[in-house]
């Protein structure tokens, strides 16, 4: 399936790798693994990595993904105007490339590896919306190429999956768990979790300080985090990651929305749905995207209250069409007699 891409890597003298702006563990991780794969397939190629990020934010746990714990490997000063091959990782659309979009577009050949509902903005598009993460797709590429997974790569792939799935709470399939089972003993999962641990004292203060409101008999939770609240708690933007997962973990909640104000005054909303509920239409009506019916996001310049007002009729309709999920089945009890395997 990835043969065309591998052929392009082998033929390219210069390769540029990209991930989305303000990248996360999956975006950066899949790109770093991508670099190792490119260097293996084509040892003579020049391979550069680009990510449009806010320096302050990234100078945290993500530095571990790079040699000598620094981001020096990113955004090289001596980059080229044109690359033979440009590959985007974990980018749902070309806007997500931020200030590096023009370099990406300069590529003689462009490629796109992603697990979101994707615009297919490249020449070669590898989109798998069933994958938990782009790291899961990199794992499939590694296997398709019959390459042995190193300790470092295993840790990166493991980290990408746990962060993109909220510690295996959403977007996981049997294949995801199969991959994790193959990585687990080589990845040092305990240390990976320590590095990507989301909780800080300031983050917990922020959780206490932010607005959290419940509607529709607790079926909808809306969390709002303003820049003032972030500042007053001494928290960082990364302390706001995973807020929507926290909302979705609350009993009776069908849909969780977390609005976080950016330093530029925009509001980024991440959406989560439980059961068979879907956030797809809510993300779409606000010009956002989704990686599954349970996970999506959008960014708006309107105040959350205004955005919420606009969404209320649709939310009401969603809840009317689909009542609150109350499981009747007891998954722990069965009547099957035991027997030995054939
Ligand atoms: Mn991802």
Q: Partners of 223 in the beta sheet?
A: 212, 258
Q: What is the mean pLDDT of residues 130-138?
A: 97
Gap between the Cα atoms of 22 and 24, Å rounded:
7
Gap between the Cα atoms of 234 and 227, Å rounded:
11
- What's the pLDDT at 57? 67
How far, in Å, from the CA of 160 to the mean position of ligand 1? 7
- What's the pLDDT at 158? 98
How far, in Å, from the CA of 326 to the mean position of ligand 1? 30
| Under 8 Å between Cβ of 270 and 243 | yes
Q: What is the mean pLDDT of residues 255-263?
A: 96
How far, in Å, from the CA of 83 to the mean position of ligand 1? 25
How far, in Å, from the CA of 225 to the mean position of ligand 1? 23
- What's the pLDDT at 59? 66
Strands of 14-19's sheet in order across = 46-50, 14-19, 85-89, 109-114, 124-127
Of the options 3.30.360.10, 2.30.30.20, 3.90.1640.10, 1.10.10.200, the CATH number for the domain spanning 3-194: 3.90.1640.10
Q: What is the mean pLDDT of residues 153-177?
A: 94
How far, in Å, from the CA of 134 to the mean position of ligand 1? 5
How far, in Å, from the CA of 291 to the mean position of ligand 1? 8
Does residue 61 surpass a pLDDT of 90? no
How far, in Å, from the CA of 306 to the mean position of ligand 1? 28
Question: ∠ CA 7-12-14 to the nearest 5 degrees?
Answer: 145
Asked if the 201-321 domain carries CATH number 3.30.360.10, the reply is no
How far, in Å, from the CA of 184 to the mean position of ligand 1? 20
Q: Where do the structural domains in the chain lie, given as residue ranges?
A: 3-194, 201-321
Gap between the Cα atoms of 300 and 312, Å rounded:
16
Over the stretch 229-257, which tens digit does the pLDDT of each residue have? 999 999 988 889 889 999 999 999 999 99
% of the chain exceeding 90 in pLDDT: 81
Mean per-residue pLDDT over the chain, rounded: 93
pTM listed for this prediction = 0.86
Q: What is the mean pLDDT of residues 275-286?
A: 94
How far, in Å, from the CA of 233 to the mean position of ligand 1? 28
């Amino acid at each position: 399936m990835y043969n065309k891409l591998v052929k392009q890597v082998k033929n390219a003298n210069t390769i540029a790798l990209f991930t989305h702006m303000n990248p996360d563990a999956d975006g950066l991780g899949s790109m770093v693994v991508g670099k190792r794969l490119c260097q293996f397939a084509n040892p003579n190629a020049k391979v550069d990595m680009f990510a449009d990020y806010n320096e302050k934010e990234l100078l945290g746990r993500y530095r571990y993904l790079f040699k000598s714990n620094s981001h020096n490997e990113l955004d090289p000063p001596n980059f080229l105007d044109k690359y033979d091959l440009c590959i985007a990782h974990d980018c749902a659309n070309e806007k997500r490339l931020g200030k590096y979009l023009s370099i990406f577009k300069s590529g003689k050949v462009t490629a796109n590896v992603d697990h979101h509902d994707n615009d297919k903005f490249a020449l070669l598009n590898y989109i798998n919306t069933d994958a938990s993460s782009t790291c899961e797709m990199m794992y499939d590429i590694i296997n398709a190429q019959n390459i042995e997974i190193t300790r470092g790569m295993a840790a990166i792939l493991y980290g990408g999956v746990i962060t993109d799935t909220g510690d295996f709470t959403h977007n996981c399939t049997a294949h995801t768990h199969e991959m994790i089972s193959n990585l687990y003993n080589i990845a040092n999962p305990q240390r990976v979790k320590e590095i990507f641990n989301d909780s800080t004292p300031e983050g917990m203060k922020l959780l206490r300080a932010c607005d959290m409101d419940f509607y529709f008999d607790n079926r909808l939770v809306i969390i709002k985090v303003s820049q003032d609240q972030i500042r007053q708690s001494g928290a960082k933007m990364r302390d706001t990651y995973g807020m929507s997962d926290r909302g979705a973990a609350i009993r009776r909640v069908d849909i969780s929305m977390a609005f976080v104000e950016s330093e530029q005054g925009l509001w980024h909303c991440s959406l989560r749905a439980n059961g068979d509920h879907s956030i797809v239409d809510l993300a779409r009506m606000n010009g956002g995207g989704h990686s599954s019916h349970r996970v999506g996001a959008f960014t708006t310049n309107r105040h959350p209250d205004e955005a919420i007002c606009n969404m209320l009729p649709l939310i009401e309709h969603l809840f009317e069409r689909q009542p609150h999920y109350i499981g009747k089945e007891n998954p722990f009890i069965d009547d099957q007699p035991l027997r030995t395997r054939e």
